[in-house]
Amino acid sequence: MGSNGANPPEWTLSGEIRTRVHSLDSAGGAYLERRAKPRIRHPFSTTVTGVDAHGSEFSLEVGLENISSGGLYLRIPREVRSGETLNVLVRFSNGKPGGTAAVIAGVLRVEPGVDGLNGIAMAIKQYEFV
């Protein structure tokens, strides 16, 4: 703990300090913002591969929900466990050729959806533009 009794700051993969900000949701209720960095919200074509909660390997083509320099979020029709490592290939294109990033990401949390798709929040462990 710091000298003022607060927890020390968390550091992100890019060396920035992670902050926590209180925000309002669309209904006007307050919540604790988990994101320390701006997100790009675009359904970039994405391939995610890994092992699901039942031990079966999978490879799926999905649209990315959002991405930042420290993490990403997508929805898939598979159950995965927190702590699992997934391989994600993100094709950054908006109608014109763009870059492609190969990402190794750790699952931080899984949000079951009523539509059969699970929201997967991941921290970027490693990436390379290919």
Structure confidence by residue, pLDDT tens digits, 79-121:
999 999 999 999 998 778 889 999 999 999 999 998 999 999 9
* Paired sense of beta strands 30-33 and 21-24, if any: antiparallel
Q: Give the single-character DSSP code of 40.
A: B
Higher pLDDT, 22 or 114: 114
Domains of the chain, earliest start first: 45-129 (2.30.110.10)
Please give the pLDDT value at position 17: 45
Residues 72/106, Cβ–Cβ less than 8 Å:
no
Q: Which structure tokens are listed for 118?
A: 């699970």
